[in-house]
Amino acid sequence: MDIFFQDPDAIPLPPKEVRIKEFQAELRPDNRRVRIYLELTPFQKRPNGEITIYNPQGEDVASASIIETMVSKMELTMHLRGEIAPGEYSIQAFIYYLEVPEQSEGVGDITQQRIIVDRANRLLEIPA
């Protein structure tokens, strides 16, 4: 599969070398939405990703899955669920590939394993 990037000098990397180049989070004025910007290094194989936002109590209040992205630069808006408490929110992102183990005879289900290649964290303050 050919993947074309805007920068002709960018060299696509194999899965184990793909990294998060930039990870930003910006609270929108309504304090209920968070703008996320995620940029990856160029890649040979399309990666997967997860982004999760945790409230000050450590509860998951927003999450997004990225499935085999074709682009290295992504922007998305995440909506916070439930009551919004002021305080420090943690945002975690990780990039991974799925590895399918060899199937032996007689085994019905194949379990795919996530191979995480990079992680990033940000803190976001929601004012009172």
Taking residue 38's Cβ as centre, other Cβ atoms within 10 Å add up to: 23
Note the pLDDT of residue 41: 97
Q: How far is CA 32 from CA 15, 62, 126, in A?
A: 34, 10, 9
Q: Decide if domain 15-122 falls under CATH 3.30.200.20.
A: no
pLDDT (mean) for 82-100: 95
pLDDT at 83: 92
More confident residue, 99 or 63: 63
Other CB atoms within 10 A of residue 64 CB: 17
What is the model's pLDDT at position 121? Answer: 98
**Contacting residues for 58 by C-beta, under 8 A, at least 6 apart:** 90
CA distances for 124 relative to 25, 56, 102, angstroms: 7, 10, 42
